[in-house]
Amino acid sequence: DAGVTQSPTHLIKTRGQQVTLRCSPKSGHDTVSWYQQALGQGPQFIFQYYEEEERQRGNFPDRFSGHQFPNYSSELNVNALLLGDSALYLCASSLGSDRYNQPQHFGDGTRLSIL
C-alpha cells in the first residue's frame, strides 16, 4: 500500500525563479492538501484540491498555484520565488474533501531552498 509520495526531495532555486512540486496521494485517497512548514513552526495550509478543483485556500499570495489531475495526483507551482519561500513543502492526502473524520496523511516533503 503506497503512501503519499512527493518529488523532488530537495530543490535549490534562486530568487525570481519558478518551481513545480509534485505529489501522488495514498492509494484510495482523492483529496490533496498542500502545506508550507518554516523551520521551527507548524505547517501552514496553502490550499486543497478535490475533483480537480481548488476547494479552499489559505493565506498565501497568487504566486502559489496548483493543479490536480484525473488520477488525483497534484502539483504545487510557485512563481517569482522569494527568500521567504524557503521551507519544507508538505503534501497530505485524505478521502473526501469535507469529511471531518478523515485524517490527512503526509508525504516526506520537498525541502525548497531559495538563494
Partner 1 sequence: QKEVEQNSGPLSVPEGAIASLNCTYSDRVSQSFFWYRQYSGKSPELIMSIYSNGDKEDGRFTAQLNKASQYVSLLIRDSQPSDSATYLCAVSIIQGAQKLVFGQGTRLTINP
Q: Please report, as ranges, the residues that interact with partner 1 according to CB under 8 A.
A: 31, 33, 35, 40-45, 48, 50, 55-56, 58, 88, 90, 92, 94, 97-109
Judged by beta carbon, residue 9 or residue 14, the one nearer partner 1 is 9
Grid look-up 496548483 returns: 66
Nearest distance in Å: CB 28, partner 1 = 15
| Residue 81 near residue 64, CB atoms below 8 Å | no
Smallest separation, CB 2 to partner 1 (Å):
15
Q: Distance between CA 8 and CA 104 in Å, rounded?
A: 21
CB closer to partner 1, 16 vs 58: 58
Half-sphere exposure of 49 (CA within 13 A, CB side): 22
